[in-house]
Amino acid sequence: MTLQFLLNGLIEGSMIGLGAIGVTLTYAILRFSNFAHGDFMAWGAYSTLMLVGLIGSAVGTVAPIGPLSFGWPLILAGLGGMVFTGCLALLLDWLLFARLRARGQAIVVVMASFGASMALRNLLEFAFTSSPTYFSRKIQIARPIGLGIRITPDQTVLLGMTLVLVVGMHLLMTYSRTGREMKAVSQNPALARVVGIDLDRIVRMTWLIGGALASAAGLMVGVLVQIRPLMGLDMLLPMFAAAILGGIGSVPGAVLGGLVIGLSQAASVQLVGAEWRQAVAFVILVAVLLVRPTGLFGVQER
Amino acid sequence: MAAMLETDGLVAGYEPGLPIVRGASIRVEPQEIVVILGPNWAGKSSLIKAIAGLVPISGGAVRLAGAEITRVPAHRMVQAGLAFVPQTENVFPLLSVQDNLRVSAGGLPRAETAARIEEMFALFPDLARQRRLMAGSLSGGQRQMLAAARALIVRPRVLMLDEPSAGLSPKFVEMVFARLAEIRRGGVTVVLVEQNARAALAIGDRAYVLVEGRVAHEAPAATLWDDPVVAELYLGQRSDGGGR
């Protein structure tokens, strides 16, 4: 047995955690499980891919940065993809969720997100076919970092990106006015209105942030694994498990939950076989719901 | 001269066609303390919630210092100068005492927010000691203090409170009402919905008695308690405190 699974788990956990932040915020502030969140990841990856292509056709081939598999166009496109996906989430809310929310039945909104998920996924399959594609087909050499663990340059950089995004999100939630207002809305929307918080603005911020982080997670999956229309769907259960494990509404909880799920999945590949990998998230989800329904960082509401 | 707060035949309710407030007209002069009394289900809470923009209004008008604020969204009422303290769940339990105040200061510049928070702590010294504590861990009395401080931080012209004494021990009830009298001396107009009529009338200037969503009686607070009309309207419900 090697300790490589620790690194694999960390990377998988980062992808799950980045996506789970959006899941947990949407759940806490809009009070519904958005099953289309995984598809935001796929749309983020594909929109980034399209932007890379656009940049490529404008400036020609750009050499990769040092030992990485990609150059500055991907970084720029990644940021563009985050903006695009944030706006996509906003658009979906304006077209669909906001209208249903106004009628006041939460379950209808959840069901609508199932439909939106299917529509978004099929649009991608229609436009890009269901066969996988890649940001780069360049082979990356993994370098040993001790204890029998090897890491590629891409992995190092993307783990760094995750760290920056997660710390940034935590600072935003803890120290900014918007972060405090988001927490206030998640705890008591009616009181939030009474103290002068514009609910619509907070809802828009939630979608923008959730969509952008899903896109970053999609970029990470795209660079380190592959890009497929179903990539987000496969991440959906682990993301929800992470959000619930961490405690709904908690950003650090979602990330920690993601890491726990990612590490458990990677460990299960080594210990019990790869075919059980998907079951792990499910088992953890059920166990948390039975033992501590509020999650690690969750607090019993009222 | 325009009243500080005025409702004109206000009709409001959650369900269309089922109004709870049925044409209520009240008038509150600047720096008055006005108490709204009435039997259970008279629409007292709904009246001030409708004024605050929390219950849909289907008829009539609300004016604040002469400016119409009927159907202004709830989150803009603070800017208009109207603050509301709900009866229950009136603080954010998972934010610290300090952050409860900060999140309620809204658009104030950072330096002014900090200064206002200190002023609130000076007004409610109990809270200053607990500033870093989660609001959810405060006692009932302290929560009411925080809810009031939260409402006052934006320097409202009118402060409306929904049963601030509900669920409090007599010692705290006395303290809350003493604070309200102090707040009025600071230039704030106060509108109070209260079951605890005796304590509320002790600090109030005038009172309205609401029955079935309409004003049934209006009198100076000092004489209202001995008014036979009120006794009849209350149908023997002159208990101090108690349920809704």
Domain of residue A50: give its range. Answer: 4-291
Residue B98 domain-assigned (yes or no)? yes
Question: How many Å apart are CA B234 and CA A59, to the nearest integer?
Answer: 82
Residue A236 domain-assigned (yes or no)? yes
Domain of residue B127: give its range. Answer: 5-234
Question: How many Å apart are CA A133 and CA A192, to the nearest integer?
Answer: 45
Residue B46 domain-assigned (yes or no)? yes
> Considering CB atoms only, which of A180, A187, A194 is closest to B74?
A194
Residue A256 domain-assigned (yes or no)? yes
Question: What is the CATH classification number for the domain harbouring A136?
Answer: 1.10.3470
B5-12 vs B21-28, strand pairing mode: antiparallel
Q: What percent of chain A has pLDDT over 70?
A: 98
With a CB-CB cutoff of 8 Å, which residues 208-267 of chain A face chain B? none
Closest-CA distance, A277 to chain B, in angstroms, reads 36
Query: Best of B94, B110, B134 to disrupt the A interface by mutation (most A CBs within 10 Å)?
Result: B94
Closest-CA distance, A195 to chain B, in angstroms, reads 5
Per-residue pLDDT tens digits of chain B, which is 244 residues long: 678 999 999 899 888 888 898 989 999 999 999 999 888 788 889 999 999 999 999 999 999 998 899 988 999 998 889 999 998 889 999 999 999 999 998 778 888 899 999 999 988 888 899 989 999 999 888 888 899 999 999 889 999 999 888 878 888 888 888 888 888 998 999 999 988 888 888 889 999 988 888 888 888 888 887 777 776 666 455 444 433 3
- What do you get for the CA distance between the two ends of chain B, in Å? 35
At A299, the pLDDT band (50, 70, 90 cuts) reads low
CB contact under 8 A, A184 and B95: yes
Residue B244 domain-assigned (yes or no)? no
Residue A302 domain-assigned (yes or no)? no
Predicted pLDDT at A302: 38
Residue A300 domain-assigned (yes or no)? no
Strand ranges, E, within B118-198: 158-162, 189-193
Using the Cβ of B103 and the Cβ atoms of chain A, whether some distance falls under 8 Å is answered with yes
Helix (H, G, I), strand (E, B) or coil at B9: strand
| Pick from A209, A277, A286: nearest CA to A240 | A286
Query: For residues A8, A260, A46 and A64, what is the CA-based torsion angle, rounded to 10 degrees?
Result: -40
Structural domain tally of chain A?
1
For A150-204, the pLDDT digits (tens) are 888 888 889 999 999 999 999 999 889 999 999 999 999 999 999 999 999 999 9
With a CB-CB cutoff of 8 Å, which residues 145-164 of chain B face chain A? 150, 154
Question: How many Å apart are CA A75 and CA A164, to the nearest integer?
Answer: 14
Question: How many Å apart are CA A36 and CA B106, to the nearest integer?
Answer: 33
> What average pLDDT does range A111-134 have in this prediction?
90
Residue B241 domain-assigned (yes or no)? no
B228 to B20, B40, B86, B90, B219: CA distances (angstroms): 26, 19, 31, 35, 12
List of chain A residues whose C-beta atoms are within 8 Å of the C-beta of residue B99: 180, 183
Strand ranges, E, within chain A: 143-144, 150-151
Span of A8-22, A137-151, A152-166 with lowest mean pLDDT: A137-151
- DSSP 8-state assignment for residue A96: I
Predicted pLDDT at B100: 94
| Pick from B233, B223, B227, B209: nearest CA to B26 | B209
Is the pLDDT at A286 greater than 90, yes or no?
no
Using the Cβ of A191 and the Cβ atoms of chain B, whether some distance falls under 8 Å is answered with yes
Residue A103 domain-assigned (yes or no)? yes
Predicted pLDDT at B241: 41
E strand or H helix at A118: helix A106-128
Residue B188 domain-assigned (yes or no)? yes
Task: Note the residue count of chain B.
Answer: 244
Structural domain tally of chain B?
1
Six token digits for residue A249: 């509404």
For A217-234, the pLDDT digits (tens) are 999 999 888 899 999 888
Helix (H, G, I), strand (E, B) or coil at A111: helix
Helix (H, G, I), strand (E, B) or coil at A144: strand
Using the Cβ of B110 and the Cβ atoms of chain A, whether some distance falls under 8 Å is answered with no
CB contact under 8 A, A184 and B92: yes
Residue B243 domain-assigned (yes or no)? no
Span of A30-34, A289-293, B47-51 with lowest mean pLDDT: A289-293
E strand or H helix at B170: helix B170-185
Question: How many Å apart are CA A141 and CA A143, to the nearest integer?
Answer: 6
B158-162 vs B189-193, strand pairing mode: parallel
| Pick from B189, B86, B199, B77: nearest CA to B147 | B86
B158-162 vs B82-85, strand pairing mode: parallel
For A60-109, the pLDDT digits (tens) are 788 888 888 888 888 999 999 999 999 999 999 999 998 888 887 888 99
Closest-CA distance, B94 to chain A, in angstroms, reads 7
Question: What is the CATH classification number for the domain harbouring B41?
Answer: 3.40.50.300
| Pick from A208, A189, A211: nearest CA to A198 | A189
Residue A91 domain-assigned (yes or no)? yes
Question: How many Å apart are CA A51 and CA B55, to the nearest integer?
Answer: 48
Using the Cβ of A58 and the Cβ atoms of chain B, whether some distance falls under 8 Å is answered with no
Is the pLDDT at A294 greater than 90, yes or no?
no
Closest-CA distance, B8 to chain A, in angstroms, reads 22
Residue A59 domain-assigned (yes or no)? yes
Task: State the complex-level ipTM.
Answer: 0.86
Predicted pLDDT at B235: 47
Predicted pLDDT at A10: 92
Residue B242 domain-assigned (yes or no)? no
Residue B33 domain-assigned (yes or no)? yes
